[in-house]
Amino acid sequence: MKITGGEPLLEKRLVLGLLGACRRLGLYAGLESNGTLLSPKVVEQLKRLGLKELGISLDFPDPALHDEFRGQTGVFRAAVDAVRSASRIKLNVSVVTSVFATNLPYLRRHAEFTLTEIPAPNMKVAGVVGLGRAREMNGGLLGPREYLEMATILRELGRLFPDRIAVGLPWSLVNPMDDPGLSFGSCHADGTMGILPDGGVSLCGLGVSRPEAVVGNVLTRDPLAIWRDAELFVYLRTRWGQEFSGVCGACIFHRYCANVCPAYAFEVYGSFSAPFPPCQHLFEEGLFPEYCLLDSPGGA
């Protein structure tokens, strides 16, 4: 179970209750937070309750820039302190960085700061996807050339900091064969059920911005029944990944990175088997790595 937000610790009692339930049921529990409510005491409490993995959002290596972006003074300091508190008690902690147009120029410095100065044991990096509030974010989504630049920087960082940076990026840009110093995450869409703040159920947080992707509500129906019966989840479990449209359908890595984030594909193209939008944009601008293409891609 991954508990995320907004800031989940604004509902601390709920978070503690969920962690307790995870422990009773033997579920792996992770939490993502901006760190503002993570005093050393709270971090210890989370660990005692069985939290296995903590992700702290940090966007910039500079207090003024991070606080300005987050719109709150002191967020940077809180995030850094939370990472250090968790590290001290050996709680598995990572700095989580979403890359967008405004913080891309700082990515190298950010990784150095995160991994050598804080120092966080690990960091997770991905290009921000245009879902929900991110669509209107003031940092700006990455364009195709910026996406390529991010991949180039991450390849360098993988060599500088082997085994400490996990990425959520298409294999056409970084992959385990060419970049063994990086770790590769995937979204496991075929095993994911997102529960929204109002109890709505969707794929991850997609239902917030696309109400048509909400397939039930845990307040009114058994979550297991929703998981078993909802057409969305049946599709994701049984058919998603077999065929993709657009550039993902013609890419040699489709079996491995699939379309990276089917929620983002749905958001942009209205289909879970549509291509990962940044890859499709790269292809349309003639920037997609040619060696990855098996034949001419169809439309998205």
Partner 1 sequence: MDAQSALKLREDVRWVLRDNGGFVYFPEDGKIEVLSSTAARIARSLLMGLPAETVLEQLVSVYAEVPRHQLEADLQDFLHALEMKGLLARRPTT
Contact residues toward partner 1 (CB under 8 A) are: 176-178, 252-256, 291, 294
* d(C-alpha 98, C-alpha 234), whole Å: 30
* Sequence-ordered list of residues with C-beta below 8 angstroms from that of 286, at least 6 positions apart, any chain: none
| Residue 299 · residue 245 · CB < 8 Å | yes
Nearer to partner 1, 136 or 291 (CB): 291
Nearer to partner 1, 176 or 197 (CB): 176
Is residue 243 packed enough to be buried (19+ CB in 10 Å), middle (13-18) or exposed (0-12)? exposed
Nearer to partner 1, 224 or 294 (CB): 294
Nearest in space to 123 (alpha carbons), one of 95, 102, 100: 95
Nearer to partner 1, 228 or 255 (CB): 255
Q: In the complex, what is the shortest distance from the CB of residue 169 to partner 1, in angstroms, rounded to a whole number?
A: 17
The DSSP bridge pattern shows strands 2-3 and 122-127 to be unpaired
Q: In the complex, what is the shortest distance from the CB of residue 298 to partner 1, in angstroms, rounded to a whole number?
A: 17
Q: In the complex, what is the shortest distance from the CB of residue 71 to partner 1, in angstroms, rounded to a whole number?
A: 44
> Which two tokens mark 294?
């098996």
Q: In the complex, what is the shortest distance from the CB of residue 129 to partner 1, in angstroms, rounded to a whole number?
A: 24
Q: In the complex, what is the shortest distance from the CB of residue 173 to partner 1, in angstroms, rounded to a whole number?
A: 14
Beta bridge partners of 293: 251
Nearer to partner 1, 72 or 238 (CB): 238
